[in-house]
Amino acid sequence: MSSDFLTGTDWQARGACGREDPELFFPIGDVGPALMQAEEAKAVCRLCPVVEPCLRWAMETREVHGIWGGTSESERRLLHRSAARAAVASATAGA
């Protein structure tokens, strides 16, 4: 991945989230009202033209807070684990 991707922020200026209250994307907790808030943020992400670069950025930088690319903190942790398992399986298969 190029360093331009990680340092460039032009994709952020095109995000649907720019028209929303930033606090929407940072729910506190993962139950009750916070869960509903996270779902509302993800609904914005589903309409966003830059959801894919947003998620890539969050994964590459290991962002641990908030909704990024339509995913929660726990969802990104699962994606990281799945990617790590796949890398191990691939390395083992190639050995």
Residue for token pair 């095109």: 14
Higher pLDDT residue, 53 or 95? 53
Can you tell me the distance from the alpha carbon of 83 to that of 36, in angstroms, rounded to the nearest whole number?
A: 28
d(CA 67, CA 78): 14
Angle at 89 between CA 84 and CA 92, to 5 degrees: 125
Q: Which residue has the tokens 């209250």?
A: 21
Q: How confident is the model at residue 72 (pLDDT cuts 50, 70, 90)?
A: very high
Average confidence score pLDDT of the chain: 89
Confidence class for position 5, pLDDT limits 50, 70, 90: very low
Beta bridge partners of 71: 68
Provide the 3-class DSSP secondary structure of residue 68. strand
pLDDT tens by residue, 27-62: 998 899 999 999 999 999 999 999 999 999 999 999
- Predicted structure pTM score: 0.82
